Structure 1
Amino acid sequence: MLELSDKYPSIMRAWLGNQLFIIMTDPELIKLISYASMKLKNNTMNDFKVLSSPNTVEKSNLYRFMRPWLGDGLITAPTATWRVHRKLITPTFNMRILESFIEVFARQSEILVKEMEAELNGNEFDVFDYVSRCTLDIICETAMGVSSEVQTKKNSPYLDAIKKIADIAFMRMVKIWLHPDIIFYRTSLATEQKNCLKYLHSNTDNVIREKRTQLNNSLDSKNTESSVNSKLPRKTFLDLLIELSNEEIKLSNKELREEVDTIMAAGHKTSATLDTFVIFMLANFPEIQQKCYDELYRIFGDKVNEETQITRDDIRQMEYLERVIKETLRLFPVAPIIVRNVTNNLDVEKYIIPKGSSVVISIFQLHRRADLWTNPLEFNPDRFLPDEVAKQHPYSYIPFSAGPRNCIGLQYAMISMKVLLATVLRKYILHKDLKVKIQDIQLMTNTVLRPANPIKVKIMERKKIN
């Protein structure tokens, strides 16, 4: 797809079997849109954008291959279901609730650095395995309130099942002969998928039943709003969903499972991959790593190397680290493309995008366009200084998508990543034996962007400041 997009204009047609895809990398084409098939009054062109158009809210048919696993969760749900669930789920991602998870982020990150001690002063090692286990422990505790202890127990059937089911779904997306159910369900992949689904679904169902029992036993007269915002012990996303759903729309256990599985799938894989890319960039660019550490020293002072609890005020001061994360997301967007169905003919400048086709937004190429970014393959976190951001096209940087169907977990991801990365940097110096050029990093995708080869770094202990 990248080779084709480099060869042809920023809006082009491509076919996968009998499905027409319209691929865009131009921010103006992504932004500006008018409707050929609808008469809209009192609106201007700028009121409409491809990603927020009511005609492109529906996810592509390719996402149907994830539905056996995620059902009608936010990622895969049809528009009518998505609107109801999104409205219901949004309050569980408010900042007060997210900040209540900081203790979990910090505690699991401390376990991570202790587990990584085995690699101290040794050779370069694959960092993704360590980070992936940590992010799974974090998401299990914050989403479901269960302790998976994957970091310390090592063996994780849940982690293995998630990887297998995601690989199978992506394989069906790109191999058109596996699209028809009549073919797929006669393959060994279908058997493997069935086994993974049985394990994953039963695991979540068991947790939901236990949570419902616990919450039913502790019901009081408080309304939903006071329940969410009260100073009771920290509640998980599942706790909050059950409580909120009791107010207006009661979610069934199946619907709860689908939303929890979606949070688990999206939250774990994207965070683990992005954390790993950031660690790689910090090791690859020691001068930038030093700036991050200098910022942490300004925040924590002489206690920078001690296991002092990270607070929400500390996180808010990690401005340079946040720019590093954003620049990593520019070069390595974990969701490299967005695909939406077109439910009515759309006029985009001189083009008509026909009903029934799919719009593909190539975020990966959008973020690397030389006409939008100076020296696009240079790693420069200062691109995200406020003055520089003001100069950017508003649709030149959309790592978490845009419009109403954007990623609901943006702030959750940013807070958890800051805590994990700060914890690692306070303990270790990250190092690469040989510096790697951005353009030489080989990439691939299987629902998220990832390195084609393991990301390996070396760690050395930071000397404590007297």
Structure 2
Amino acid sequence: MSYIMYCVEILIILAILSLRLIRSKKSTSDLADKLPGPKTYPIFGNALMFWCKDEDIFQKITDCIEKYASPMRFWNGTKLYIIFSKANQVEKIFASTAFSTKDDIYKFIKYYNGEGLISGSGPKWKKDRRLMSPLFLKRNILQYFPVILKHTKILVNILEEKINLPTFDIEFYICKAGTDFVNESLLGLKSNNQGGKNDEFLIQIRRYWAVTHGRGCLNTYTCIHQRANNNVHGAFVQTLAQNCSLAILATVFRVCIQNCTFKNATIFCIHIKAVTHGRGCLKTCTHIHERANKNINVYAKYRRVFECAILYAHSEYCSKNSKTAVLCERLYKGAMHVVVCTLMYARICIKSSTSVCNRPNSNFFKLIILPVHLFYFRAYELIHKRIIKPWLQIDSLYGYSYSYLKQKEAQDVIHGFFYKVLIETKKSHRHLGQKDISFRTILEQLLDIRDEIADFATDEEIIHHLVTLYSASEHTVTNTCSFTLVLLGMYPDYQQKVAEEIRNVVGFTDDIQEQHLDKLDYLEMVIKEVLRLFPIVPFIVRQANQETELDKLSIPNVSSVMVSIYNIHRDPSQWEKPNNFYPEHFLPQAIKNRHPYAYVPFSAGLRGCIGKPFAYMAIKILLVSVLQKYIIEADGNLQERKLTADFSVKFKDKIFPLRIKNRV
């Protein structure tokens, strides 16, 4: 009977979708008939194109846009998108108030960001943007220069351990540096992620796609967030955080097999002993979970099993072969979460009457800073799926899905984290009238604005702004710096030009000054070229708030207009070598001959990104610090690396492999 009811529900949903399609506004249908685009099908429109692996969707979309003239039409289910990919057309969209409203597709982002600067629209958004824009002017963000420089120096010192070693994933290390200076600049938290204590958690964050093997992983973080550091469970977590490198391999081979990582049978057979250890660890995890309530020393009892497994397998994989080493690092990081989460889940989920610790400066609070990022990237994944796949956009249907449960847990952790930060900051808030205030975090300045303008934002709205700023700043810096270093490793001639410029401007000192950054013209060309090839946001969707004419095309009110920044940045009519890494695209004469809206990595016009100065400053400081001391090497070329995207463009395999040498 339940199966019959399920089928009936599906038929009802399909009938509703069909009715919505039939009753579509005639003006919208007429507009679609005038535009080129792929073949459509009833109910689904062009959405069947997305019936593929998630990592292949981005390439399908960009290939489709490239195939048809701009503007083109695309039906995602019953929703029509008018897609523009020419600079002259996009200029009119960005400059017009008729397209200043975010499309309703951004409602899925609002579950996390609320009415933040990215997802909000209307009078409230305009007011908030006007009040917050001064926070990111150059004269204000210069106070964060020493903070960023301090953490990039730590990064440079850490990378010394990688000199002349096999290929490693640079993104992992840049992310740690980025989270450190974003935590301190935005929130005033000194997380010290580069100190090494939280490596295990950061691995889980940056390899978030691996955390899909059971609800225990999510429950683990929820529990950590709710428990104190001064009870037995918190002490267990602290111990585990320090010794976790010995407890990784419990399910590494299960993960590999499930994800078809081992396509080479020989490699698999070589490590059959480690497989045995892995199975033993799996069994151990089960025992831990079952017996945790009875034996507080269970972890110590079984610790030796984990040691044997990880020491054997990791040493075997870290061979001289660079490709094997990269595979090893990927498996090492991707599988880390399984044992960690099982162990922590077993201990932390024990009921305790001990009160919860609410002190953000405690060791426990520092411990949970990194796991919050896990839920950021989980949120990106969930939002992207809902935007792309129309069958997930029906709330009544989505509410029964496993993705909905993950969404709720991500919301709770992200908002709970920032709520604790906000409450603690309010207690110690230093008002503008106080003397000797030379450094003010973004959060403190938001509270200053509210002190002056009472209706600026509630606590909840400030949290929404923090979520937006936090995710945008860390993600932008990490992605851009990782891409830049890999590309400079692939193309050593360009790297040499950058290194010579840094040597001429900065010299041999690591005490970089603000005035140095303004003189690094070629480095800026390189960064801009990276942002051209890999824009932070490849697509932007706006909604017409009135009937508007654009290039002799009548756009009905409430129509969805999509701007493909990715395709604009690779338009052959605007770029000499559209698909190549070619920093000379940004020579003064080349810029002069190009349409000003052919390059819009941070959007433009009324909704341009206010955080661009902070991002550029952080990116330059980090790159100068690394390239001043190290020579970067990377295999292959850009054409060999396939791309994918959720909210930002990235390599399809999501790793940024390179090697480093001392720069003499």
TM-score, structure 2 normalization: 0.63
Confirm or deny that 1:63 pairs with 2:106.
yes
Deviations 1:297-331 (A, max 9, x none): 11232x24xxx321111111221111100011111
Aligned residue runs from structure 1 range 391-410, under 5 A: 391-410=593-612
CA distance in structure 2 between the partners assigned to 1:53 and 1:245 by the alignment: 30
CA distance in structure 2 between the partners assigned to 1:439 and 1:372 by the alignment: 20
State which of 177, 180, 184 in structure 2 corresponds to 1:137: 180
Deviations 1:322-351 (A, max 9, x none): 110001111111211111111212211221
State which of 317, 327, 349 in structure 1 corresponds to 2:529: 327
CA distance in structure 2 between the partners assigned to 1:103 and 1:231 by the alignment: 18
Look up the SS of the partner of 2:466 in the other structure: helix
Offset at 1:220? 5.9
Deviations 1:113-132 (A, max 9, x none): 22323322111111111112
Aligned residue runs from structure 1 range 268-287, under 5 A: 268-287=474-493
Look up the SS of the partner of 2:74 in the other structure: strand
CA distance in structure 1 between the partners assigned to 2:538 and 2:456 by the alignment: 35
State which of 71, 83, 87 in structure 2 corresponds to 1:11: 71
Deviations 1:334-378 (A, max 9, x none): 211111111212211221122222111111111111111112223
Structure with greater Cα Rg: 2
State which of 130, 138, 152 in structure 2 corresponds to 1:109: 152
Partner of 1:150: 193
CA distance in structure 1 between the partners assigned to 2:499 and 2:529 by the alignment: 17
Partner of 1:374: 576
Could you tell me whether the CA contact under 8 Å between 1:275 and 1:417 is conserved in 2? yes
Letter in 2 for 1:245: R
Confirm or deny that 1:20 pairs with 2:232.
no
- Shift in CA distance, 247/141, structure 1 to aligned 2, threshold 3 Å: same
- Shift in CA distance, 15/272, structure 1 to aligned 2, threshold 3 Å: same
CA distance in structure 2 between the partners assigned to 1:15 and 1:356 by the alignment: 15
Letter in 1 for 2:450: S
Look up the SS of the partner of 2:558 in the other structure: coil
Letter in 2 for 1:449: V
Partner of 2:642: 442
Partner of 1:289: 495
CA distance in structure 1 between the partners assigned to 2:662 and 2:386 by the alignment: 44
Partner of 1:41: none
Partner of 2:556: 354
CA distance in structure 2 between the partners assigned to 1:288 and 1:231 by the alignment: 45
Offset at 1:159? 1.9
CA distance in structure 2 between the partners assigned to 1:442 and 1:388 by the alignment: 28
Confirm or deny that 1:173 pairs with 2:233.
no
Partner of 2:437: 232
Query: Where in structure 2 are there 5+ consecutive unaligned residues?
Result: 1-60, 202-369
Could you tell me whether the CA contact under 8 Å between 2:128 and 2:456 is conserved in 1? no
Which fold has the larger relative contact order, with Cα–Cα distance below 8 Å and residues 6 or more apart in sequence? 1
State which of 478, 496, 506 in structure 2 corresponds to 1:300: 506
Could you tell me whether the CA contact under 8 Å between 2:576 and 2:585 is conserved in 1? no
Deviations 1:438-457 (A, max 9, x none): 33321111111111022211
Letter in 1 for 2:397: I
Could you tell me whether the CA contact under 8 Å between 2:113 and 2:467 is conserved in 1? yes
Offset at 1:87? 0.8
Look up the SS of the partner of 1:328 in the other structure: helix
CA distance in structure 1 between the partners assigned to 2:79 and 2:179 by the alignment: 35
Deviates more, 1:409-418 or 1:49-58: 49-58
Partner of 1:389: 591
Confirm or deny that 1:245 pairs with 2:450.
yes
- Shift in CA distance, 334/221, structure 1 to aligned 2, threshold 3 Å: closer
Partner of 1:160: 374
Look up the SS of the partner of 1:359 in the other structure: strand
Could you tell me whether the CA contact under 8 Å between 1:102 and 1:310 is conserved in 2? no
Partner of 2:663: 462
Letter in 2 for 1:443: L
Offset at 1:78? 2.4
Partner of 1:39: none
Deviations 1:208-251 (A, max 9, x none): 11211212xx43647xxxxxxx9732111111111022212442
Partner of 1:44: none
- Shift in CA distance, 411/221, structure 1 to aligned 2, threshold 3 Å: closer
Confirm or deny that 1:451 pairs with 2:651.
yes
Could you tell me whether the CA contact under 8 Å between 1:19 and 1:357 is conserved in 2? no
Could you tell me whether the CA contact under 8 Å between 1:338 and 1:360 is conserved in 2? yes
Look up the SS of the partner of 2:660 in the other structure: strand
TM-score, structure 1 normalization: 0.89
CA distance in structure 2 between the partners assigned to 1:297 and 1:30 by the alignment: 39
Deviations 1:135-174 (A, max 9, x none): 1222111111112222222123122121111111111111
Deviations 1:58-113 (A, max 9, x none): 11222111111111110111222210110110111111111111111111111222
Confirm or deny that 1:263 pairs with 2:469.
yes
Partner of 1:2: 62
Partner of 1:317: 519
Look up the SS of the partner of 1:290 in the other structure: helix
Look up the SS of the partner of 1:15 in the other structure: strand
Count of residues paired in the alignment: 431
Letter in 2 for 1:193: Q
CA distance in structure 1 between the partners assigned to 2:456 and 2:605 by the alignment: 27
Look up the SS of the partner of 2:191 in the other structure: coil
Partner of 1:37: none
Could you tell me whether the CA contact under 8 Å between 2:431 and 2:448 is conserved in 1? no
Could you tell me whether the CA contact under 8 Å between 1:127 and 1:455 is conserved in 2? yes
Could you tell me whether the CA contact under 8 Å between 1:334 and 1:450 is conserved in 2? no
State which of 546, 557, 574 in structure 2 corresponds to 1:344: 546
State which of 412, 428, 433 in structure 1 corresponds to 2:614: 412
Query: Where in structure 1 are there 5+ consecutive unaligned residues?
Result: 32-48, 223-229
Deviates more, 1:17-26 or 1:369-378: 369-378
Look up the SS of the partner of 2:477 in the other structure: helix
CA distance in structure 1 between the partners assigned to 2:533 and 2:374 by the alignment: 28
Partner of 2:288: none
Identity %: 29
CA distance in structure 1 between the partners assigned to 2:431 and 2:614 by the alignment: 28
Letter in 2 for 1:219: H
Offset at 1:257? 0.5
- Shift in CA distance, 185/149, structure 1 to aligned 2, threshold 3 Å: farther
Partner of 1:219: 431
